[in-house]
Amino acid sequence: MTLTVDQQPQGGISGQFTVALPLQGNGPFTGNIDTQGNFRFLVTSRDTTAPILFSGDIQPDGSLSGSYCSVNSNNQCDTSAGGHGVWDAAKS
């Protein structure tokens, strides 16, 4: 998984989310980071049937960890809409 992040004013973030096979979900994302290092971002992709919401924390070493879920039309996590689980990513 790779995140290419563009920091925006007032804690907004956007960029590109990329995963390697067999995972699916490459696409743009938008979200926010608060002053405590908590983040949420939504990935929209032509590869998946539903957007994927990622949330979590920035760790002291710069890595990220959290959870993800597919969201339904009401922007709520919904296991029947797709995948869910935990994830982490190291800072490169």
Domain ranges of the chain: 2-89
| 21: confidence class by pLDDT, cuts 50, 70, 90 | confident
Top pLDDT among 22 and 29 is at 29
Stated pTM of the model: 0.85
Averaged confidence pLDDT in the chain: 88
- pLDDT over threshold 90, residue 9: no
* Token pair of 43 as six digits: 């990935």
Say how far apart CA 22 and CA 37 lie, in whole Å. 30
Neighbour-count burial for 45-80, b at 16+ CB within 10 Å, e otherwise: beebebbbbbebebeeeeebebebbbbeeeeebeee
Q: Measured between alpha carbons, how far is 12 from 33 in angstroms, rounded to an integer? A: 6
Residue range 31-84, pLDDT digits in tens: 999 999 999 999 998 888 889 999 999 999 989 999 999 999 888 999 888 889
